[in-house]
Amino acid sequence: MNIIKLSLLAGAALLLAFPSRGQYAADAFRFSEINQTGTARFQGVGGNHAALGGDASTISGNPAGLGFYNRSELSLSPSFRNLNTESTYLGRVQSDGKTNPNLTQASLIIAGSPNRYNSNWKRSSIGISYTRQQSFQNLFSYSGRNERSAFVDAAVDDANRRNISAESLDQEFDVNSRQAFTLPGAYYQLYMINPTTAVGPPYVRYERNNPTDQVGSFESTGAHSQWTFAYAGNYNDKIYVGASIGFNRIRYDYNSTLSDQYANATVIRGSTHTEDLNVTGNGINATIGIIYKATPQLQIGASITSPTFMNVKETFNELVQADIIGIPQTDANGQTVFFVPDVTTVGLQPNDFEYTIQSPLRASGGVTYFFGQSGFLTGTVEYVGYRGMRVSTGTLNAADNSTFRQDNKREIEDTYTGGVNVRVGGEYRAGTFRARAGLAYLGDPYRVKLDDIDRSKLLLSGGIGFRNERFFADVTGIYNTAKAAYTPYVLNNQSDYASARITSQSINLLITLGTFF
Tell me how crowded residue 470 is: count the other CB atoms within 10 A of its CB: 10
C-alpha–C-alpha distance, residues 269 and 291, integer Å: 66
Q: For residue 485, what are the β-bridge partners?
A: 501
In this model, does residue 15 exceed pLDDT 80? no
- Mean pLDDT in residue range 21-50: 90
Whole-number pLDDT of residue 152: 97
What residues does each domain of the chain span? 6-516
C-alpha–C-alpha distance, residues 506 and 492, integer Å: 35
Position 154, amino acid: A
332-355 pLDDT, tens digit each: 888 888 899 988 999 999 999 999
C-alpha–C-alpha distance, residues 298 and 294, integer Å: 6
- Mean pLDDT in residue range 318-344: 90
The alpha carbon torsion through 174, 175, 178, 182 (nearest 10 deg) reads: 30
Q: How far is CA 494 from CA 73, 354, 367, in A?
A: 57, 32, 48
In this model, does residue 7 exceed pLDDT 50? no
Q: What percent of the chain has pLDDT over 90?
A: 87
Phi, psi of 217 (to 5 degrees): -145, 155
- Mean pLDDT in residue range 221-242: 96
Whole-number pLDDT of residue 3: 31
Burial of 115 (0-12, 13-18, 19+ CB in 10 A): middle
User: pLDDT class for 115, splitting at 50, 70, 90?
Assistant: confident
Closest-CA residue to 462 (of 442, 483, 439, 441):
439
127-160 pLDDT, tens digit each: 999 999 999 999 999 999 999 999 999 999 999 9
Query: Could you tell me the end-to-end alpha-carbon distance of the chain, in angstroms, rounded to an integer?
Result: 75
- Mean pLDDT in residue range 186-200: 95
Whole-number pLDDT of residue 22: 53
- Mean pLDDT in residue range 211-231: 97
Q: What percent of the chain has pLDDT over 70?
A: 96
Whole-model pTM: value is 0.89
C-alpha–C-alpha distance, residues 43 and 425, integer Å: 9
In this model, does residue 505 exceed pLDDT 70? yes
In this model, does residue 1 exceed pLDDT 80? no
248-292 pLDDT, tens digit each: 999 999 999 999 999 999 999 999 999 999 999 999 999 999 999
User: pLDDT class for 20, splitting at 50, 70, 90?
Assistant: very low
Mapping DSSP onto H, E and C, the string for 63-102 reads HHHHHHCCCCEEEEEEEEEEEEEEEEECCEEEEEEEEEEE
- Mean pLDDT in residue range 326-332: 88
CATH superfamily of the domain spanning 6-516 = Outer membrane protein transport protein (OMPP1/FadL/TodX) (2.40.160.60)
